[in-house]
């Protein structure tokens, strides 16, 4: 009998890999013992330290790089501000504005020549030819383009006048109304009987 030893139930369950649930209810549905979780593997602290070192170096490089980029952007913005303040009235900008003003003045003068009555335009053309040392540039650059534009505008006005007269004649023409045809339910039968 000495070979048989009494082993308490709790010790047997722990040796089998179970742990108590410490539930206080005495229900038959809730187990008192559950399977113990597997033991966690040993953590390699050297690998953890290597990962932390890599992440630390990455964050340090990123912070340094982002600070350098922000500094470059601030310097570039300051340089742009200085350049715009100093060179706002550059010779290029001044000459560009003068060219635009001259082109607008020429366009206004051209439109004025095209819109003036023909007698005044002919007198202005004679004056330009008389005052010019060389008449070919005056004819090529001023007189010919103005005459072409005046002719085009005259054709357009004539076309508009013809179209307006046609519309006016169409409006004035007396209207003849079409005879009214009365349709009833039996009109189709009446037509078919007459055949």
For residues 154-163, give the mean pLDDT.
86
| Residue 79 belongs to a domain | yes
Total of domains in the chain: 2
Do 78 and 119 share a structural domain?
no
Q: Is the pLDDT of residue 146 over 60?
A: yes
Which range marks the domain in which residue 112 is found? 103-171
Q: Is the pLDDT of residue 180 over 90?
A: no
Instruction: Give the pLDDT band of residue 168 (cuts 50, 70, 90).
Output: confident
Q: Is the pLDDT of residue 148 over 80?
A: yes
Q: What angle do CA 99, 101, 106 make, to 5 degrees?
A: 95
| Burial zone of 33 (CB within 10 Å; 0-12 exposed, 13-18 middle, 19+ buried) | middle
Q: Is the pTM of this model over 0.85?
A: no
For residues 160-187, give the mean pLDDT.
75
Q: Which of 88, 112, 141 is the last residue of a domain?
A: 88
Do 162 and 118 share a structural domain?
yes
The Cα-based distances of 24 to 20, 21, 30, 31, 32 in angstroms read 11, 9, 10, 11, 9
| Residue 116 belongs to a domain | yes
Q: What angle do CA 190, 194, 195 make, to 5 degrees?
A: 125
* CB-based contacts of 132, cutoff 8 Å, min separation 6: 138
Q: Is the pLDDT of residue 194 over 60?
A: no
Parallel, antiparallel, or unpaired for β 18-20 and 33-35?
A: antiparallel
pLDDT for the residue numbered 195: 47
């Amino acid at each position: 009998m000495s070979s048989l030893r009494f082993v308490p139930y709790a010790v047997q369950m722990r040796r089998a890999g179970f742990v108590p649930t410490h539930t206080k209810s005495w229900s038959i549905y809730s187990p008192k013992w559950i399977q113990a979780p597997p033991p966690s593997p040993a953590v390699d602290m050297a690998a953890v330290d290597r990962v932390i070192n890599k992440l630390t170096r990455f964050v340090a490089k990123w912070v340094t790089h982002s600070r350098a980029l922000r500094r470059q952007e601030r310097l570039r913005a300051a340089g742009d501000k200085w350049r715009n303040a100093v060179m706002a009235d550059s010779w290029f900008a001044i000459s560009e504005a003068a060219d635009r003003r001259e082109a607008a003045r020429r366009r206004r003068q051209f439109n004025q020549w095209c819109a003036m009555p023909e007698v005044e335009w002919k007198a202005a053309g004679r004056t330009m030819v008389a005052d010019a040392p060389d008449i070919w540039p005056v004819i090529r650059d001023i007189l010919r383009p103005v005459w072409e534009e005046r002719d085009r505008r005259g054709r357009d006005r004539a076309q508009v006048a013809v179209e307006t007269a046609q519309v006016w004649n169409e409006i004035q023409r007396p209207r003849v109304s079409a005879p009214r045809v009365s349709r009833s339910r039996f009109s189709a039968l009446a037509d078919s009987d007459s055949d």
